């Protein structure tokens, strides 16, 4: 008689085989980060002679033009994909006139960075009025204090042209005005800037996590931006915004903040025929840094976990204040 086959005494399927060593885990990793996928947001401030620390964002500063150029050169050497500039002017007014002034701090910074590293690093500009208006809103206000969508589009077009002339390769339209992509695209094309890339902040949610950023740009905002930024309760509405921006000619679309809205990042990646970016914003950065400084979490581990999560959700480009730290580990 034949001997009965031995019965399995334990698990037959052992997924842990593929997790048993660092080398095997590295071999089968499904999601990878690369420094070229990371964009560093930076702040350039008018009227200072040395960098100024931002208390709510340890390790991040407001730059002089000179230190900004040095930071851009460092970013190029680190292999980062790009650098996104935000301006902090000395003077503000109701229409944000400093935004399209060729001698305004943001445009001065853009020229300096483009001249220094424009052939090695993608130079991006934040295209929004909030840093330049005395009321802190992202657009022009009506007499009764509402944001005037169509009047704001005219200011965005002027700002976009000023930034393109200053050397920005990518314009980050972050104001969430209806029709902003088409309006700025038409203005750029009419002036011969047909190669200037539009990065549309298509799903930009109103969030309590912007607090540290508002210190960084010395925001004058009173109230909130709920009438133009996305409601965190809504998802379908954001997909409509993405579809509209793509139809209007956006070259890249973005979701912001990244971490709380990974479902929107994933949905955007699933439907978008163009690259999807995500912005790990100031409050996301500050939470990790503060918890790590208190000894509650491992900074590097949580930093990389957060970035991998954004990448796994489908973002091909990640704006993050951790760009240098992450690039060093990668």
Active site residues: 204, 256
Radius of gyration in angstroms for the set of CA atoms belonging to the chain, rounded to a whole number: 22
Q: CB 328: neighbour CB atoms within 10 A?
A: 10
SS3 for 281? coil
d(CA 106, CA 86): 6
End-to-end CA distance of the chain: 61
Structure tokens at 39: 């964009």
- Residue 305 · residue 312 · CB < 8 Å: no
d(CA 155, CA 292): 41
SS3 for 86? strand
Q: Is the dihedral of CA 55, 205, 130, 117 positive or negative?
A: positive
- Which residue, 59, 80, 52, is CA-closest to 289? 59
- Residue 177 · residue 231 · CB < 8 Å: no
d(CA 139, CA 175): 7
Task: Give the bridge partners for 277, in sequence order.
Answer: 254, 317
d(CA 125, CA 6): 68
């Amino acid at each position: 008689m034949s001997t009965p086959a031995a019965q399995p005494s334990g698990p037959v399927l052992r997924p842990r085989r593929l997790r048993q060593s660092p080398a095997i885990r590295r071999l089968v990793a499904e999601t990878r980060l690369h420094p070229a996928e990371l964009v560093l947001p930076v702040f350039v401030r008018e009227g200072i002679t040395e960098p100024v620390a931002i208390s709510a964002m340890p390790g991040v500063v407001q730059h002089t033009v000179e230190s900004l150029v040095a930071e851009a050169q460092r970013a190029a050497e680190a292999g980062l994909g790009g650098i996104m500039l935000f301006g902090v002017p000395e003077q503000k007014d109701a229409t944000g006139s400093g935004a399209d002034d060729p001698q305004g701090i943001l445009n001065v910074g853009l020229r300096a960075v483009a001249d220094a590293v424009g052939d090695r690093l993608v130079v991006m500009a934040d295209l929004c009025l909030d840093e330049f208006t005395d009321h802190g809103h992202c657009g022009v206000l009506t007499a009764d204090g509402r944001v005037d969508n169509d009047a704001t589009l005219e200011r965005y077009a002027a700002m976009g042209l000023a930034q393109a002339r200053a050397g920005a390769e990518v314009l980050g339209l972050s104001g969430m005005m209806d029709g902003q992509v088409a309006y700025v695209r038409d203005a750029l094309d009419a002036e011969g800037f047909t190669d200037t890339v539009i990065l549309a902040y298509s799903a930009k949610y109103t969030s309590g996590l912007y607090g540290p950023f508002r210190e960084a740009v010395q925001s004058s905002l009173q109230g909130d931006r709920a009438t133009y930024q996305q409601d965190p309760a809504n998802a379908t509405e954001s997909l409509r915004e993405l579809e509209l921006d793509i139809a209007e000619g956006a070259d890249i679309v973005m979701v912001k903040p990244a971490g709380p809205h990974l479902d929107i990042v994933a949905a955007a990646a699933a439907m978008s025929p163009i690259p999807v970016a995500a912005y790990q914003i100031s409050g996301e950065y500050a939470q990790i840094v503060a918890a790590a400084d208190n000894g509650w979490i491992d900074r590097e581990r949580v930093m990389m976990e957060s970035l991998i999560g954004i990448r796994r959700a489908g973002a091909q480009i990640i704006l993050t204040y951790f760009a240098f730290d992450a690039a060093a580990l990668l």
